[in-house]
Structure 1
Amino acid sequence: MLDMIKIGKIISDQRRRLNLTQMEVADKLGVTFQAVSSWERGQTMPDITKLDELSKILNISIDELLNNKNGTNIIQRIIKNEEDINVESVDEFIEIAPIIKPESSEILAKQMVEKKDISLKELASLAPYLSEETLSEFAKNISTNNLNELASIAPYLAEDYLVELIEKSVTETNSFDKIMSLIPYIDSEKLDKIVLKVRENNSAVDVIIPVAPFMEEETLTKIVVGEIEKGNFGDVVALIPYVESDDLNRLIKERFSFKGM
């Protein structure tokens, strides 16, 4: 992977060697001197469209500037807007991803995935550089017996896709066990709908206890009160900590008409 710290040092050292100020480099590139300063501190990378011009200003090759020969050929072809640009492996993609435009990243990644199967670990490496939609499409082709293994990429996946996975798993198993790691990444209202659907086929309260911390309090309160009405107080004890006591007391009073309380 491109090392921003090393690249920043190369930019700084070469600029000083040529007796140029950050402002002078910035003016030549049409960027702010703060941008140049950020590059030299290794906090950000120059845009790919600036690499060719920057290398000429610093009087070094792009190879020398990036301190990396593996991805330079592809980068130069992207700069020249050449067609039929491909990357052969995830490692090769990761080398150049930090400095290429998102649109180019999407195209190169899709071309690569079409030609080869990638593992979940490799997909996790691609995640920061792809859109939710693209990553979700790739994830559909990953074979796994336990959806909890997708936790490493869950923050980058489209919520609709996560909901689809959770609904399918819960429908098949009447349990949240195989998808617990995905629950924090979906909206609580969508989770509530899944829970209520599960309860149509499996009314056992212990099924929803693991996901209770992620549910809407109002939904949980209704479930708790409903179970208490059935005389199943012991079954809902584990849910009580997630329900506002005032709301619970009020609803219990209303349901049981405890006027004197």
Structure 2
Amino acid sequence: MVDSRTVGAYISQLRRDADMTQAEMANKLNVTHQAVSKWENGLALPDVQTLMNLADLFGVSIEQILSGGRRTSHGRRDSVKEDLDRSLDRARTGEVDPDYLMELAPFMSRDKLEKAVDMVSEGELCWEHLVSLAPFLSQEARDRAFEKLCAGEVDPDFVMGVAPFISRDRLEKAIDLVAEGELCEEHIVSLAPFIGSDALRRAVGRIPADSIDRDMLSGLAPFLGPDFIEKLVFGKARSG
């Protein structure tokens, strides 16, 4: 499994080696300095998009970040290959462990990883697995795993986290399936760049009028037509 403390220590080392403050790194990644502090203290892990941005910022691979900067020796790669072969053998009898795949993903070929992910039974795969595995999967494989997850309860926090990696039509269907009352303004503003205007309007329509504030309108304005924004503004004025 990925050790958040090891990952955090490596992120801290990369930042210090680049002579950056937490605030400077946060600004480059478009996150808060509190988020950077949580990563470096091992209290949280960056989401998949931020992992990719971190890798680009410091000129390292996602594999290096997730392994805490350890380079993989030939011996380790041979060991991983043996582990993978055993994992795929178990897969043929329906025994794929998605937690194990998260650990192996940085060392596996995309083809073998995708075959293994496809073999994970529906009840065993969770949103955390997809968030961790998404950078290593093709678009088609991400969508298949995403659809498998959407057969159960849809968590809008995790949908928001994997949105950059999921096809628009599947993302829109998932948002429609989020339970009433679970979708909030933050989810909608974050998801707006990844869904169509019709789906976005449906999502906005599920938010109570008194929750729609100026910040939300500003965030949604580039993605919704002026007529719809005016309806929201005047509707809010009438409800107020």
TM-score (norm: length of structure 1): 0.44
* Larger-gyration structure (1/2): 1
More relative contact order in 1 or in 2 (CA 8 Å, sep 6+)? 2
